[in-house]
Amino acid sequence: MPRFRRALLVTSSIKFRLAALFCVVTLVLAALAALALYHHQRGIMINRLRTRATALAANLAVNAAPALIAGDQMQLSVLVATAMQNPGVLSAAIVDHQGVVRMHSNIREIGRRLERAAAPATDPAAQAHLRPTEPIIFNGKGVGTVVLDIDASDLAAGLWKLRIGLLLGFLMVTTGVCLLFVRLIDRFLRPLDTLVQAAGRVGRGELSVRVPEVGGREIRNLARSFNRMTAGLSAAKARIEQGYLEAVMTLAATVEVKDPYTRGHCDRVAYYSEQVARQMGLDDAFCSELRLAGALHDLGKVGVAHEILCKPGPLDPDEFAEMARHPMIAWKILEPAKFLASVREIILVHHERYDGSGYPNRLKGDQISLAGRILSLADAYDSMTSDRPYRRRLGHQQALAIIKEGKGRQFDPEVTEAFLATAAAMGEPPTATSRSREAC
């Protein structure tokens, strides 16, 4: 199947679509959760920095108020120096109410105006610093302002760590959840897959297929209905096959009506074939198939003229050619019955000979199926020990002697040995009529 078509089939499956839907929903929810968490943590970190910076500025403002009023530069210098000792403080300034810097950690700034003293940093993470201001109040009156510059680079670094941590967490959580969803969906829909595959097998003629009745209620009901349906189809098929088989058996029986000399022949051939197969240790299925082939092996004689079948003497070449058509006629009659395909194969070769001198296809040795080789020998034995329009039947021992002579030429050596062993175990068979009843 082309790769594109295979990909199209995968993406059009319910399993893929459900998994994709769940994964997209998971991705969106996880992304929203990660963003919310990031903003929450970011706010906490900024507030923590602001609180610390504001506390520093407020402390400096409280201490600086008397010195600013008194114009005590020395004290203001000490206070600024003390403030600068706190970690992260980049600069500290004390500005009077006119906006003039009265003391600064950078002495070159002293005496200048600080225009933006009141403009606090709005985004310390983006600007990498924070500028808290605090009014200096003395006796309830504002006399100046404290302005600090606080290093916020640690805040930016902390936020980068937070982003990377959240991204990794997001990837891990979404991957884990998506894999879990895929597994759950696969497990949930597996019975449906089994049903689809089983339906395909039924479509190919495997009516014996059944599916386990597991899964959710609807799928269990579907599986139960499927099993009932296949059981019904199997039963209907068995009835049709049985009916067909009975029709074919009836047709085969007409041969014995046309040719009374062969009455009971098919049943006896079926019986001998099965006995030989069992002697060779072949299984029940093989024996059953062979027995059926034996019962039907001369079915094709319905297409042979009655005068030829009952001719009281040897056949001329044309008559023999007509008679030799009967395996092929049976082959054609049984062609529509697929369930008899292997039986049909056995019947076709039942007049082939081990040395290749048989008909219709002059097969030899292993080219003839084992079942065909067994049927051929059983057919020959029963023909020899039955009366025919052109000769009297041979005795049991006479027939066995001919079979021994034909070992390796007309007959398969291994099958011959098995037949002789079977014949020795059975002894001389009873009369033709009683034998046919036993075989039934």
* No. of helices (H) and no. of strands (E), the chain: 16, 5
For residue 214, give the 3-state DSSP assignment: coil
Is 298 a residue that touches Fe ion (CB under 5 A)?
yes
C-beta of 134 vs 352, nearer to Fe ion: 352
Stretch that binds Fe ion, among 112-120, 296-304, 339-347, 380-388 (CB under 5 A): 296-304
Omega cis (within 30) before 360: yes
Cβ 350 to Fe ion, closest distance in Å?
A: 6
For residue 208, give the nearest of 229, 224, 239 by alpha carbon: 229
Stretch that binds Fe ion, among 4-12, 87-95, 298-306, 399-407 (CB under 5 A): 298-306
Distance CA 426, CA 381 (A): 14
Strand extents, DSSP E, 54-211: 89-96, 101-104, 129-130, 133-138, 141-151
Cβ 341 to Fe ion, closest distance in Å?
A: 19
Site string (46-65) toward Fe ion, x via CB under 5 A: --------------------
For residue 354, give the 3-state DSSP assignment: coil
Return the residue nearest Fe ion (CB atom). 298
Stretch that binds Fe ion, among 215-223, 281-289, 291-299, 370-378 (CB under 5 A): 291-299
Number of residues that bind Fe ion (CB under 5 A): 1
C-beta of 95 vs 266, nearer to Fe ion: 266
Cβ 340 to Fe ion, closest distance in Å?
A: 17
Contact present, 18 and 98 (Cβ < 8 Å)? no
For residue 56, give the nearest of 158, 130, 114, 121 by alpha carbon: 130
Cβ 408 to Fe ion, closest distance in Å?
A: 22
For residue 258, give the nearest of 220, 308, 314 by alpha carbon: 308
3-state DSSP percent of the chain in helix, strand and coil, to 5:
65, 10, 25
Cβ 327 to Fe ion, closest distance in Å?
A: 7
C-beta of 116 vs 362, nearer to Fe ion: 362
Contact present, 70 and 52 (Cβ < 8 Å)? no
Question: What is the length of the chain?
Answer: 440
C-beta of 267 vs 298, nearer to Fe ion: 298
Cβ 323 to Fe ion, closest distance in Å?
A: 9
Cβ 194 to Fe ion, closest distance in Å?
A: 47
Cβ 202 to Fe ion, closest distance in Å?
A: 38
C-beta of 256 vs 298, nearer to Fe ion: 298
C-beta of 114 vs 299, nearer to Fe ion: 299
C-beta of 146 vs 266, nearer to Fe ion: 266
C-beta of 147 vs 295, nearer to Fe ion: 295
Stretch that binds Fe ion, among 87-95, 142-150, 297-305, 429-437 (CB under 5 A): 297-305
Site for Fe ion in 226-265 (CB under 5 A): none
Stretch that binds Fe ion, among 158-166, 216-224, 295-303, 385-393 (CB under 5 A): 295-303
Distance CA 334, CA 330 (A): 6
For residue 404, what are its two tokens?
């021994």
Stretch that binds Fe ion, among 45-53, 255-263, 292-300, 337-345 (CB under 5 A): 292-300
Cβ 315 to Fe ion, closest distance in Å?
A: 13
Give Cβ neighbours of residue 252 (< 8 Å, ≥ 6 apart).
Answer: 266, 295, 296, 298, 299, 302
Distance CA 53, CA 292 (A): 103
For residue 136, give the 3-state DSSP assignment: strand
C-beta of 63 vs 262, nearer to Fe ion: 262
Give the binding site for Fe ion (CB under 5 A). Answer: 298
